[in-house]
Structure 1
Amino acid sequence: MNITPNDLVAEQAVLGTMMVNFDSPRCQKAIRQLKADSFYSKQHQMIFSQIIELSKKNYPVDLITVSDSMEAKGTLSECGGLAYLAELSKNTPSMVNVIAYAGIVRDKAIERYTLQKLNDCSAMIYEKSNLSTSEKLSAIQSLFTQIDDYNKTGKTLGLKSLNTIADKWTATLEKRLDNSDSARGLSTGLKALDEKLAPKGLVRGSLFVAGARPKMGKTTFEINMARHCAMNEKLPVLIFSLEMQDEQMLENILAQESGVSSDIFYDGGLGADSEFARVMHHLKELSETDNIYIDDTPAITLSHIRSESRRMAKAKGQIGMIMVDYLTLMDKEKGDDQRNDLAYGVITKGLKALAKELNCVVVLLTQLNRNLESRGDKRPVPSDSRDTGQIEQDCDYWIGIYRDSVYNDQADKNLMEIIVALNRHGAGNFTVYAGIKNARIYDINQAEAYAQSNVEPARKERKYAKAS
C-alpha cells in the first residue's frame, strides 16, 4: 500500500529542539522553513502553532510555558499531555541537526501537497464538465505552477488567516522601508509619469490597459515600457505581438534603445556608419541581458499566453511585465454566437488573474471604438473601450494615448498626451506629456507641453474617468 509521505521522528526532533533551545540561530533558521501544516501529525501541528503563538507574544518558549498555555486552552490532553511534551524534549537526537530535521519535514509536506494536486488533475480529466480540453489543460498547468510555487516558497492559494497575511505583510513592509527594490512597484520609463505614480509605481499583480485609436503610438509606448523594464529594472519582459512580426518588433526596440530612426534599416544603407555602430552596440547589450522575449503567433489565445508565461516564469524565476498587443486581435476561444463584449471580458479577467498569479504587471493594449471621432474633443475616455468587455472593472490602470496632430495639421506632430483616467492604487484623472519622433518616446518639459497642447482652458481639468 502507498503510504502518505511523512516522517514523524523528524517532526518530533524539530518540536523537541524548539522547546529546549528555541532562541538559538539554528532553531530560528529551521522554524523559518516551516508552518503548522508542514507537519503531518495533527498533534504536532497544534504544538507548533502554540510555540509560534508564544513567540509572537514575546513569551519564553520551553516545556513548561508550552504545556501551561495548551492546558489553559484545553488542548494539552489532545496532544498527549505533559508526558508527551516531556518525551519530545528529552528524546531529541541532536539539536545541532535541527535544520536538517526541518528540511525533512518540509520535503514531506511538499510531497503531500504534490500528491493532492495530482489527484486534482486526475479528477479534472475524469469529471464531466463544460470545460473544453484546452481549458482543462490550462487549469492543470496552473496546478503545476502552484506545486512549483509551494516548493519554492511554501505558500498556497486559497483562504489564509489574517495572522499568516500579517506575517507576510510585515516582511514586505520591512523590505519597503529599507528601500529594497524587490518590494517596490515597477516604473514606466517616462519620468513625468513615474513621478505621478510614485511612491507605489506600477503595483505588481496589476492589469495596465492602454487604449488609443490607430496612429497614436500605443505600440511605441508599449515598447518603451518593455525595454525600460528589461534594461533598467533588469526583469524579463514577455511581448505577445499580434500586430507586428518579431523582426519588426526588434527593429522598433533597437530604434528606441539607440535613438535612431528605423528608416535606416530600409534605405539601402544610407544611414551613417555611427548610427549603425550604435544600433549594433545596443543589439549586443539587449542580447546579453536576455530579458526580452517576443511571441508573434497570430490570433493568439488566452490559454497560449498563460501557458507560455507560466513556462517562462518557471525558467526565469520572476517576470517583470507581460505585454499583449492588442486585445481585439486575440482569438476569443468561444463560439461565434457569443457577444464580443462577454468574450473579451473573459480575456481581461484572465489576464488580471495571470498578473496576480505571476506577481507581475500585464500591459494590455486595446484599440478604441471609432465613435470617439464624432466628438469635438477626441481625447479618449474609458467608456470608449466599453465594447471590448468590462475593461474598466477589471483593470488597475487605464490610460488613453492621444496625439492631436492626427486630427489637427497645426498641432505639434511630436507631442503625445498620456491621459491617466483610472488608477486604483493612487491618484488618477491627470495628463502627462511625452515627445514622440521616429518611433521613439522621450521625456519633455511638462509646462511647455501643457502650453502647446490644443485644449481650451476650461477643459484643462477635465475629469476623464467620469466622462460618458
Structure 2
Amino acid sequence: MTDNIVLPPHSIEAEQSVLGGLMLDDGSDRCLKVFSSLRAESFYSRQHKIIYEELRSLARQQKPIDLLTVSDSLESKGELESVGGFGYLAELQKSTPSAANIVNYANIVRDRAMKRYGIEKANKITELFYANDGMTAEQKYEAAQAIFTQMSDHAQTGTRRGLRSFGEVMDDWMLDLDKRFSTSGEARGLSSGIPSLDRMLSPKGLVKGSLFVIGARPKMGKTTLYSQMAINCAVREKKPALLFSLEMPDDQILEKLVGQKSGVNPNIFYLNTSDDEEYQGDYDADFSKAMNTASRLRELDLLYIDDTPGLSLAHIVAESRKVKRQKGSVGMVLVDYLTLMTAEKADRNDLAYGMITKGLKNLAKELGCVVVLLTQLNRELEKRVNKRPLPSDSRDTGQIEQDCDYWVGIHREGAFDESLNQEETELLLRLNRHGKTGVIFCQQRDGAIYDLDQVAARQEREQREQLKQQINKKGGF
C-alpha cells in the first residue's frame, strides 16, 4: 500500500544543499540571491523551514552565518533539538556538494514549491466547482481566473495572498526598496508622460494598485490624455498598456497612438498624394516618419487594443489577467469610458456604475498596475461661471470620489470662448491620495498634449484674467 502513496513534489537533497551552502558561503552574492528567491514556506521539510528562517533572521541582523552561530541561535530559542541538533546541522554543511551551486539548488527548491502551490490551488478550483454555494457558473469561472492570477503572481514573485506577518511584508518591502533606488527604478510608481504632471505626482509617481480617473466634458481631450499615458507606459516604462475603447474603433485608436508618438497629425492618413500641396509640411517625410513609428510600436509589442462594444467589467478583468499571465506584468489598464460600459442590474445607475469602479480598483490592486478610467461629466457644469470640472461633476456615479486615488479634470477655456487660444489646456489634479494637488498648464496640438513652462503659463493666464476684469469694470459689467 505504501508504494502507492504519492507525495507532493519536493527534493530533500536540494533543500539540504541550500541550507548547507548558506552556512558555508556566508555573505556572498549567491547567498543574497537565495534569500531573495526563497521563503521559509518554499521548503517541504518542517525542520528545514525552521533552519532557513533562522538563517534569514541572522542575515537580516547582519550577523555571521556558520555552524556555531546557527546552532547557538536555535538553542537560545529552544528549537535546536527539534531540527535534529548540532549533529544534523554539521551533516548539512558536510554533505553539501558545492556551495558555488547554491543558486541552482535554490531553483530546484523553488520549482518544487511552485508545483506544490499549483496543486493546492488546483484543488481549490476543483472544490469551487463541486461546492453548492449559490454561485453561478460564470461567477465560478471568474473566481477560478482570480486563482490562476494568484498562481501566476506566485510564479513571478513567490508571494502569496491572505494574511501575512509584518516580517513577511517587510521582507518584500526591503526588496522593493532596493529596486526603487536601483538604476532601473523598477518598483517606483509609473509616470504619466506629462513632465509637469509627473513632477506634481513626485516622489511616488502613479502608485501601482491605483485607480486614476480622468473627467471632462466632450471634446476636451480625454482620449488624447488616455492614449498618451498608454504610449508612455509602453515606451518609457516598458510595461504592457491595455486600451479598452468603447467610443473609438481600434483602427482610429491606432492612428491616434501613431500620431502622438511620431508628432505627425493623424489626418495625414486621410490625405491623398494629389492633395500634397494642401498639407502643411513635408508630406512624404511625415508619412514615412509616422509609418516608421507604427513599425517600432508593433515591434515593442506592449500595446493592446480592445474595441468590443458594450464591454463589461468581467471582460476587462479576464482580458487583463490573460495579458498578466502572458507578459508577467501589466503597467496600465485604460478604459474609455465608464458610462458606455455594460453595468450589472441595480436599483439606480449610480449603484451600478459604482460596482464597476470598485471592480476596477480591485483589478488595479490584484494586478499591481494603474487603472485609468475616463468618465463624462454632467453638462450642468457649463452653466457655472467657473466651468472648471470637479469630481462631484461625474455623471451617473458619486462612487468615483470614494474609489479613485487620483482624479484629473481636463479644461479648455477655448471650448467656451472662440476668441481664446484653442490649444490651451489645464489638467486639474483635484484628488491625490498620495500627495499634492494643483493645476498643470499644457497645449493640445495635432491630437497630442505638450507640456509648457508652468511659471510662464501661469503668469500669462493671471495677466489675462486681470485684463479681463479691468475691461469688465470699464464696461460697467
**TM-score normalised by structure 1 residue count:** 0.89
Contact 1:400 1:421 in 2 (8 A): yes
Aligned residue for 1:322?
Answer: 333
Q: Please tell me the root mean square deviation across aligned C-alpha atoms, in Å.
A: 2.5
SS in 2 for 1:75: coil
Correspondent of 1:438 among 446, 450, 453: 446
Distance 1:188 1:93 in 2: 50
Aligned residue for 1:276?
Answer: 287
The within-5 A match list for 1:152-167 is 152-167=156-171
Aligned residue for 2:470?
Answer: none
Any unmatched runs of 5+ in structure 1? 458-468
- Tell which deviates more after alignment, 317-326 or 210-219: 317-326
Contact 2:391 2:407 in 1 (8 A): yes
The within-5 A match list for 1:204-215 is 204-215=208-219
SS in 1 for 2:396: helix
> Residue 351 and residue 49 in structure 1: after superposition, are their counterparts in 2 closer, same or farther (change >3 A)?
same
Aligned residue for 1:360?
Answer: 369
Offset at 1:392? 1.4
Correspondent of 2:427 among 418, 425, 435: 418
What amino acid maps onto 2:114 in structure 1? I
Offset at 1:93? 4.7
Aligned residue for 1:465?
Answer: none
Aligned residue for 1:449?
Answer: 457
Distance 1:400 1:407 in 2: 16
Query: 1:149-198: CA deviations, max 9, x gaps?
Result: 21222121222222222222223323333443323322222222122222
Contact 1:302 1:347 in 2 (8 A): yes
The within-5 A match list for 1:232-247 is 232-247=236-251
The within-5 A match list for 1:72-221 is 72-221=76-225
Distance 1:46 1:399 in 2: 50
Contact 2:414 2:422 in 1 (8 A): yes
SS in 2 for 1:387: coil
Distance 2:98 2:266 in 1: 67
Offset at 1:329? 0.8
SS in 2 for 1:411: coil
What amino acid maps onto 1:292 in structure 2? L
> Residue 438 and residue 104 in structure 1: after superposition, are their counterparts in 2 closer, same or farther (change >3 A)?
closer
> Residue 423 and residue 295 in structure 1: after superposition, are their counterparts in 2 closer, same or farther (change >3 A)?
same
> Residue 455 and residue 95 in structure 1: after superposition, are their counterparts in 2 closer, same or farther (change >3 A)?
same
Offset at 1:391? 1.3
The within-5 A match list for 1:259-298 is 259-269=263-273, 270=275, 271=279, 272-298=283-309
Any unmatched runs of 5+ in structure 2? 467-477
Aligned: 1:303 with 2:311: no
Contact 2:392 2:398 in 1 (8 A): no
Correspondent of 2:380 among 358, 371, 375: 371
Aligned residue for 2:472?
Answer: none
What amino acid maps onto 1:411 in structure 2? L
What amino acid maps onto 2:192 in structure 1? T
Aligned: 1:66 with 2:77: no
Query: 1:185-219: CA deviations, max 9, x gaps?
Result: 22222222122222322222221110011111111
Distance 2:180 2:454 in 1: 29
Contact 1:404 1:454 in 2 (8 A): no
Offset at 1:239? 0.6
Offset at 1:89? 3.6
Distance 2:265 2:104 in 1: 59
Distance 1:288 1:374 in 2: 47
> Residue 65 and residue 366 in structure 1: after superposition, are their counterparts in 2 closer, same or farther (change >3 A)?
same
Aligned residue for 2:390?
Answer: 381
SS in 1 for 2:366: helix
SS in 2 for 1:4: coil
Aligned residue for 2:471?
Answer: none
> Residue 278 and residue 27 in structure 1: after superposition, are their counterparts in 2 closer, same or farther (change >3 A)?
closer
What amino acid maps onto 1:281 in structure 2? N
Offset at 1:310? 1.9
Distance 2:107 2:308 in 1: 43
Aligned: 1:40 with 2:49: no
What amino acid maps onto 1:345 in structure 2? G
**TM-score normalised by structure 2 residue count:** 0.87
Offset at 1:302? 1.4
Contact 1:30 1:98 in 2 (8 A): yes
> Residue 183 and residue 134 in structure 1: after superposition, are their counterparts in 2 closer, same or farther (change >3 A)?
same
Distance 1:417 1:390 in 2: 24
SS in 2 for 1:59: coil
> Residue 50 and residue 254 in structure 1: after superposition, are their counterparts in 2 closer, same or farther (change >3 A)?
closer
Distance 2:297 2:430 in 1: 33
Distance 1:61 1:183 in 2: 29
Distance 1:265 1:21 in 2: 62
SS in 2 for 1:400: strand
Contact 1:328 1:388 in 2 (8 A): no
The within-5 A match list for 1:401-412 is 401-412=410-421
